Amino acid sequence: MPVPTSDTGAPTTDLDPGPTAAASPFWGHFTAMSSTDELPVMVRGEGCYVWDRAGNRYLDGLSGLFTVQVGHGRRDLAAAASEQMSTLAYFPIWSYATEPALALAERLTGMAPGDLNRVFFTTGGSEAVDTAWKLARQYFKAVGQPNRTKVISRNLAYHGTTFGALSITGLPGIKEPFEPLVPGAVKVRHTNPFRSGHGFDEEWAELCARDIDERIRMEGPDTVAAVYLEPVQNTGGTIPPPPGYFRRVREICDHHGVLLVSDEVICAFGRLGHWFGADRFDYRPDMITFAKGVTSGYSPLGGVLVSDRLAQPFIEAGSTFLHGITFGGHPVSCAVAMANLDVLEHEDVLGNVRRRADGFRERLEGLRDLPIVGDVRGDGFLRTVELVRDPDTLDTFTDEESAWLLKGQISHRLFELGLMCRADDRSDPMIILSPPLIAGDAELDLIESVLRTVLVEAWDSLRAR
């Protein structure tokens, strides 16, 4: 059974003796301030693997954070950053442009679906989501519909943590400490039929899409600016759209004059085997928000791809979108993005995802013989194994059981056996997997093997309680 290995390949059970979250001056993101739990300290990455400072090797089964598409340790991406730093390390794009930003904008709009022929750069995903909401509001004021300020998104969906993005996010647990948030962000049902009694079919798609239509009517169509949807909703367990869902949503948005924003911070740049999730599921949004995989995480960058229709009022009036970010479209990040897109194209990384997606799914589907596995779903290299307390009734766990299972059992053992992924308790307990897009059979086999070991142990421990 796989265990963490040293640089020489020899097994080791030494865990990284990192500082505790409570003792270190370092304040981690979404990290409990525990006085006992040690923080693993990562020092090196190569391909699909990372090493801690004790020399233990781990398969990065979450691509860092759904980000490292082309794997760790790419010297060509590092060289692109170094070359740009030595040429022009920084200059703002407030009333200026840089050659890397111009080149990347040209390239992205050439790849994007439909008439998304403008790019507004940010430094990350939350900023991109905020930007799209602000752009929608200013656009509707420019065309004489100033009451269109609201946005609709789905329950459990994660869209970011800045105040605007957090308002659009559908996870009550991470919103409550900061309320009141930005008003006008309303929620509708997500598309996961597990435990609903419905099949994953066009009837379910119609029911879910109709919820959007009904909510627009309830709010007043002339008050709704946009609908935000991920192609595959990550939080809640990599929930794909049922057949026909996006076609109906597009029709509903067009009928009510509402913009459709495809939030592809996770799904774009090959995660689903296509440049954009909108291509994977054949729909045309008015905006696409992106980040993460555009640079494979080698440098921070995000942005919004914008349709010609939304840009037109600004062009006609010669007006300014009154929004900007100091490091948006950073020249080094744009240069890295160009090099990253070269790798994705020249090494057929998207083709690797398409060729291996069925095999990845089949490996995880094979875990259904374990009584703790209730559902397996997702798309491309974005997959979830959802856990259940009872395989017959599909009952889920109490909050106490979930915390014990995920934090006390599964997370520790996954890490101990050399697999980094997400044991997620933000809704029902589940394990989310998102390996680098260069992963091959060896990595997918390792994921399956470690998961089987850990889930068998977890079920035995649960029964013994």
Q: Two tokens at 91? A: 């200059």
End-to-end CA distance of the chain: 25
Q: What pLDDT is attached to residue 38?
A: 83
**Encoded amino acid at 156, one letter:** L
Q: What pLDDT is attached to residue 464?
A: 87
Query: Distance between CA atoms of 128 and 123, rounded to whole angstroms?
Result: 8
pLDDT in tens, 172-204: 999 999 999 999 999 999 999 999 999 999 999
Q: What pLDDT is attached to residue 453?
A: 98
Residues of the chain with pLDDT under 50: 1-13, 15-16
pLDDT in tens, 51-60: 999 999 999 9
Q: What pLDDT is attached to residue 35?
A: 67
- For the chain, count helices (H), then strands (E): 15, 15
Considering the entire predicted model, what is its pTM? Answer: 0.94
Question: What is the residue range of 450's domain?
Answer: 42-70+348-464
Do 282 and 387 lie in one domain? The reply is: no
For Cα atoms 337, 380, 208, give the angle at the middle one, nearest 5 degrees: 110
Inter-residue contact 24 to 39 (CB < 8 Å): yes
Residue 16's nearest CA partner among 60, 58, 54 is 54
Residue 244 domain flag: yes
Do 300 and 158 lie in one domain? The reply is: yes
Q: What pLDDT is attached to residue 17?
A: 58
Residue 26 domain flag: no
Q: What pLDDT is attached to residue 321?
A: 97
Domain containing residue 378: CATH number: 3.90.1150.10
Residue 10 domain flag: no
Last residue of a domain, one of 286, 321, 346: 346
Domain containing residue 132: CATH number: 3.40.640.10
